[in-house]
Amino acid sequence: MPDKGMVCCWTSLIAGCAQSGQAEEVLRLFCMMVEENLPLEDDTMISVLSACSKLEIVESEKWVAYFSKLVDSVDRKVVGFDAVNTVLVFLFGKLEKLENSRERFDGIDDEGKKSLLPWNSMIGAYVHNSCPLEALSLFRHMVERRHSRPNHVTMVSVLSACAQIGDLDLGMWVHEYMKSKGPKGIIESNTYLATALIDMYSKCGSLERAMEVFDRMVSKDVVSFNAMIMGLAINGKGEEAVGHFSKMVDFGLHPNAGTFLGVLCACSHSGLVGRGRQIFHEMSARFSLPPNLEHYACYIDLLARVGLVEEALEVVDSMPYKPNNFVWGAMLGGCVRHPRVDLAQKLYERLVLADPENSGGYVMLANAYANDHRWADVSALRWFMKEKRVKKQPGCSWISLDGIVHEFLVRSSLHPQIESIYHTLEGLVKEMKVAKP
């Protein structure tokens, strides 16, 4: 055991345990430091939070209970008080308990918030739980305080939030900020940051910028290739995505499950049936990776999209997994695109059994009936949805104005300027009616 006064020795010991995967030992040593009222440096806390990221859910819940009891029993003046709260912010976020996470963040005093770690943990928790607006709001608050300068960890989370809502302007600002104020060459050399930029630009529709970041990377790994392949896939560049897959293999990198998901998605969106079929079979035959349920769903979607419904059904029957809502949804979507109302009815029933709360199956079957001009069946299905209280997921869109992201939901009047917006829309409608010849 290191000398109780030698903080650097404790930090080294904790770092060593973290690097060797001994997460529980890291947290045990961290608790000893708190109990001994020893100062906790950022280097120590980085190792502690790294260990927390490796905990299983049951272990996380156990440590949350312990740390909650510890922080509630010690004086706020104890050196480790804010450090324990920072760990709780991270763990509560991991357990999808955002209210608890924010409560612990708010319990950290101004001195404790001079460190980036509480901010990074809270912003990361919001992003992890698909709350991008809250993440970006907190990021702006952090920047306005001027006490903490964002680093690459902060920016990876911020870029992920930008990707979720399509905020290209803020994403570009982050890119410029890191180029001008970050360490020289950080974007080209830091694969985490570069990959986050590729993902953000791809999801915001700026594929050229994504390609530029990818091409300038000093060292490309499987994760960065996966991000670029998926970026090309979602932007309808199937041939290019398959080309990057081949290039990745030529580089000597071994594709993983994420790689195959991306390239199969690319083939599906671009209708590359032959190439997709070959890649799906090579996954296990050549690369020794058995397809999981997601890969099967993607392959089935590829076949169903181009009208090979019978072949897709054969894959469903032969796969070693119970079909889920994504599989039946892909099959039903194929029947809507290539009119097969007879089969659509059966598939709809299976989709509803797999996911009764999801409105997607009802909507797709209604579309199949409408394509076949079976309006009475469309009305009956809508009545059935009403009786079962199945609600369509409301459409959602975001717009960024002057650095502020505004969220709009269908049939929602929650926006603070909603009356002014409706007034302006009514004025525009009147002007269009007047201008109509």
How far CA 385 is from CA of 352, 363, 367, 380, in Å, comes to 11, 10, 14, 9
Supply angle C-alpha 394, 100, 28, rounded to 5: 135
| CATH, residue 74 | 1.25.40
Q: Where are the alpha helices (DSSP H) in 323-393?
A: 325-337, 341-354, 360-371, 375-387
Q: Residue 350, CB half-sphere, CA atoms under 13 Å: how many? A: 18
Mean pLDDT within 319-327: 89
Q: Are residues 133 and 7 in the same domain?
A: yes
Could you tell me if 88 and 101 are in contact, meaning their C-beta atoms sit under 8 angstroms apart?
Answer: yes
Could you tell me if 297 and 327 are in contact, meaning their C-beta atoms sit under 8 angstroms apart?
Answer: yes
> Per mean pLDDT, which range of 39-43, 187-191, 319-323 is the poorest?
39-43
User: Which two three-digit tokens encode residue 153?
Assistant: 């960890």
Residue 302 placed within a domain: no
> Per mean pLDDT, which range of 24-28, 216-220, 368-372 is the poorest?
368-372
Residue 19 placed within a domain: yes
- What's the one-letter identity of residue 39? P
Distance CA 226, CA 255 (A): 9
Could you tell me if 50 and 18 are in contact, meaning their C-beta atoms sit under 8 angstroms apart?
Answer: yes
pLDDT at 395 over 70: no
Distance CA 277, CA 437 (A): 54
Residue 205 placed within a domain: no
Residue 188 placed within a domain: no
User: Which two three-digit tokens encode residue 37?
Assistant: 């009222």
**pLDDT of amino acid 93:** 95
End-to-end CA distance of the chain: 87
CA-wise closest residue to 182 among 197, 165, 198, 203: 197
**pLDDT of amino acid 36:** 83
Could you tell me if 369 and 386 are in contact, meaning their C-beta atoms sit under 8 angstroms apart?
Answer: no
**pLDDT of amino acid 5:** 57
**pLDDT of amino acid 397:** 67
Beta bridge partners of 399: 406
Q: Are residues 316 and 365 in the same domain?
A: yes
**pLDDT of amino acid 330:** 85
Q: Are residues 55 and 82 in the same domain?
A: yes
* 224 CB-near residues (< 8 Å, 6+ apart): 191, 194, 195, 198, 214, 217
> How many other C-beta atoms can be found within 10 angstroms of the C-beta atom of residue 403?
11
**pLDDT of amino acid 367:** 65
Domain edge (last residue) among 263, 291, 319: 291
Q: Are residues 145 and 281 in the same domain?
A: no
User: What is the percentage of the chain residues whose pLDDT exceeds 70?
Assistant: 81
How many domains in the chain?
4
Chain segment 38-88, per-residue pLDDT in tens: 888 888 999 999 999 999 999 999 999 999 988 877 767 766 788 999 999
Residue 197 placed within a domain: no
Domain edge (last residue) among 149, 177, 212: 149
Q: Are residues 133 and 256 in the same domain?
A: no
Beta bridge partners of 73: none
Burial class of residue 71 (count of CB atoms within 10 Å of its CB; 0-12, 13-18, 19+): buried
Could you tell me if 71 and 88 are in contact, meaning their C-beta atoms sit under 8 angstroms apart?
Answer: yes
**pLDDT of amino acid 261:** 95
Phi, psi for 405 (deg, rounded to 5): -90, 125
Q: Are residues 427 and 370 in the same domain?
A: no
Mean pLDDT within 31-39: 85
Quote the mean pLDDT of the chain.
85
Q: Are residues 407 and 382 in the same domain?
A: no
Q: Are residues 325 and 421 in the same domain?
A: no
* 217 CB-near residues (< 8 Å, 6+ apart): 188, 191, 194, 224
- What's the one-letter identity of residue 82? D
- What's the one-letter identity of residue 286? R
Could you tell me if 32 and 80 are in contact, meaning their C-beta atoms sit under 8 angstroms apart?
Answer: no
Domain edge (last residue) among 120, 149, 178: 149
User: Which two three-digit tokens encode residue 105?
Assistant: 């963040």
**pLDDT of amino acid 425:** 78
Q: Are residues 267 and 340 in the same domain?
A: no
Distance CA 1, CA 3 (A): 7
**Dmax of the chain from CA atoms?**
88
Q: Are residues 7 and 96 in the same domain?
A: yes
Mean pLDDT within 229-246: 95
Mean pLDDT within 401-426: 68
pLDDT at 180 over 70: yes
User: Which two three-digit tokens encode residue 234?
Assistant: 């979602």
Q: Which residue has the higher pLDDT, 187 or 360?
A: 187
CA-wise closest residue to 82 among 56, 52, 118, 133: 118
**pLDDT of amino acid 394:** 57
User: Which two three-digit tokens encode residue 402?
Assistant: 């002057």
How far CA 249 is from CA of 12, 174, 242, 260, 433, in Å, comes to 38, 32, 11, 12, 59
Q: Are residues 334 and 258 in the same domain?
A: no
User: How confident is residue 332, by pLDDT bands cut at 50, 70 and 90?
Assistant: confident
Q: Are residues 251 and 354 in the same domain?
A: no
Query: Which residues form the domain of 350?
Result: 310-393
User: How confident is residue 421, by pLDDT bands cut at 50, 70 and 90?
Assistant: confident
Residue 29 placed within a domain: yes
Mean pLDDT within 115-127: 95
Burial class of residue 366 (count of CB atoms within 10 Å of its CB; 0-12, 13-18, 19+): buried
User: How confident is residue 146, by pLDDT bands cut at 50, 70 and 90?
Assistant: confident
Global pTM value: 0.79
Chain segment 346-364, per-residue pLDDT in tens: 766 676 666 666 666 656 6
Residue 20 placed within a domain: yes
**pLDDT of amino acid 405:** 64
Distance CA 371, CA 303 (A): 21
Residue 174 placed within a domain: no
